[in-house]
Structures are given as structure tokens and as C-alpha cells.
Chains A and B, each alone.
Chain A
Amino acid sequence: MNGLTAVRALTTLPVVTLGGDAVAHVKDTVFDTSAGRIASFTLTGRTLLSGPLPRDLPWPAVHCLGRHAVMVRDAGALCELPLSAARRDAARGRLLGAQVLTDDGETVGTVLDVLVEGGTSGRLVAFRLAAHRELVHGSRHRRHRVYVPRGEAVSLTGRTLVIPAHARTYVTDDLPAFVARVGAGHDRGRDVAS
């Protein structure tokens, strides 16, 4: 059940209680970059014209993150948060559009999307880049399907992502295969660690 989800696809996803009521929609995903996982979601109201809500949904209150809804136990899971604080958090932990640098100091692209593990983990798994020609050759279409596993990243803040100059990036048309490779690498890492 822990499939990978693209963070861009989370925007507009409904927040649904176990009682079946939709209480909000996801606006932005805020990352805890040091822990490498989702920190919270900022929210909008349910109708088309309702603006951002002065509430957020911290990750520990999420029951399960699925492909079609973010499940929470009840409406009490949402925390009051002033809009200014929500905007500041979103800007700080947004990651989308962050600059990608190599450890040589060269800019090689921007982050287009972030892949996270669904379910109850919310772990950050990989980044999708819009790579410059220095990193990957080929058409623009091809350069927008460059994936970097999170394990490769040297450092990570809200606005910049630093990867090693020799990073093993993957250009892929086949996301499931990439996920399998990342999963294998992740398991290997765990074996080494244990």
C-alpha cells in the first residue's frame, strides 16, 4: 500500500475523515527537510472560491495518505494556524522549484516534483528535476524526466538541493522500474546499516 505519490498530485486532494466527510483540500505540502519527510499540509476550503484556511494538518495527525484522499481520524486533527504562519511555512518547506546544485557549485536544474511514500510513512524518496544540458543531454522532454533518489542528496534546504557531481541520476519513462531500483537501493542501504 506504500506506493509512491508525486507531491504535485497531492494539491487539491480532499482531506476526508473516517466518518466520510471532506473537511478541506490540500493546498501545499510542507517538508521537514532535515528529517526528509512531510511535515504538514496547508489547506484550502472545500468550494471553488473559498480561500486558504487558517488551519494546517500536521503529519502525525494524518491517518493515511492515499492516492485519492488524505485520511484523518476526525475534524479535530486540523490545527489552528494563522495564515501568515501557514504562508511562511509553505514558502520555507516547499521544495518545488528549488535550485539543484552540484557540490562543485554548478547549477544543474530545478526541482519539478518530489516523490513521497504514501500510507503512514510520508518519507521523501526521490526528486524529479528539470535538468540543464550539463547534467543530462537530450530533448527538453527527456530532461524533464530526470529522477534523483533522495539518498544521493548531500544537503537539502527549502530553496536548494545539493547533489554530488557524479550523481547517479536516472532518466526514465518507466516510473515503476525507477521505484523498484530506488527501493532496491534503499533496502541495500538498510542491510549495510544493520
Chain B
Amino acid sequence: MMLFSRVRGLPVLTPGDADRVGEVRGLTVDGAPWRVTHVRIGRGRLRKGAVVAWSALRAAGPDMLVVRSAGGPDEVPPHRELLGSRVLTECGEERGTVLDAAFDPVTARIEAVLTTRGELPPDRLLGLGDHALVVRSGTAHHRV
């Protein structure tokens, strides 16, 4: 189990010469099933950041990430920041903001999302966009 907040800032290395590529700036997530798809790597102020697919990582440890090669994937999905995003139920009620999220480093599946109003299981997440993370309300409220 790894936390988004712990992964942020970890050094990213290449395996052969232990060359430092940069440090983790953020994790891109995708739904259905909810998992971490890409790692965004910052390479200093003057250089453009890099994006590496989570499946291209060779190892993910508590102190560093090791990538197979520094080459990025062909297509980069739009990045939505999960940490700090507003939580909105499908009924349009705000439910705090996202503080952190836990995921399994092997399968990259998100296991729980911690918000200012408590913990959410991944099966309640509906979508993450530029405005909010939309979650299923506790009491289902559907149009018939």
C-alpha cells in the first residue's frame, strides 16, 4: 500500500547507471477500474517534465521509483490532480476535499480515497474532472 502524498517528491532513477531522472510531481489516475496510470516527473525548473506509464516502472519502493527507460509513452492522457480536488456527490452536494489516496503499487489499483469528510471506497467514485471528483451518494437517489 502506498500513499499519493508519500510518492510525491520521491526521486526517479534509471536502473543501469542509477542516473537520476527527476522527482515525482504527481500521479495521473483513470477510472473503471480506478488505478494509477501515469507518473509525472519534474526534471528541474528549466526542463520540461516527463510522463511515464506506471506499467513501465521496474520497481516502486518507499524511497525511490525505478523506470525502465526515460522515454515517455506515445499518448499522454490529460492530467487531473486527485489530491486537493473538491468532492461532489452526484446530487450536487459538496463533501469536502481529497486529502490523500492509497493504492497498491503492484496492481496500481486505488484502494481508498481519504477526504476531509472521511474515507471513500473506490467503488463510490464516479469521475474525476477539472471541477471535482464526483462520488456516488451514500443514499442512492436516481431518476426513475
* Partner-B contacts on A (CB < 8 A): 1, 14, 16-22, 63-71, 118-120
Contact = CB atoms under 8 A, between A and B. Distances in A.
Contact of B92 (A20, A21, A68): A68
Interface in B13-69: none
B130 A64 contact: no
A63 B93 contact: no
B143 A69 contact: no
Contacts of A22: 129-132
Contacts, number: 80
Interface residues of B, number: 22
Contacts of B137: 1
Given A1-B91, A66-B92, A67-B93, A21 B143 contact: no
Q: Give the interface centre of B92, B94, B139 by most chain A CB atoms within 10 Å.
A: B92
Contact of A20 (B91, B130, B139, B143): B130
Nearest to B94: A68
B102 interface: no
Interface string B114-144: 0000000000001111111110010101010
Contacts of A70: 92
A20 B90 contact: no
Interface of B: 80, 85, 88-94, 126-134, 137, 139, 141, 143
B93 A20 contact: no
A16 B132 contact: yes
B82 to A, nearest CB: 10
Contacts of A17: 127, 129, 134
The binding surface of chain B is classed by DSSP as loop
B127 A69 contact: no
B28 to A, nearest CB: 14
A22 B85 CA distance: 13
B131 A20 contact: yes
Contacts of B128: 19-20
B93 A21 contact: no
A69 B127 CA distance: 15
Nearest first, the 8 A-B pairs at minimum CB distance are A66-B92, A20-B129, A21-B129, A19-B127, A22-B131, A69-B92, A68-B94, A20-B127
Contact of A1 (B80, B129, B133, B141): B141
Nearest to A22: B131
Nearest to B80: A20
Contacts of A1: 91, 93, 137, 139, 141
A175 B90 CA distance: 26
A18 B126 contact: yes
B97 to A, nearest CB: 12
25 contacts: A1-B137, A16-B132, A16-B134, A18-B90, A19-B126, A19-B128, A19-B134, A20-B80, A20-B88, A20-B127, A20-B128, A20-B130, A20-B131, A20-B134, A21-B127, A21-B131, A22-B130, A63-B143, A66-B89, A66-B91, A68-B93, A70-B92, A71-B88, A120-B141, A120-B143
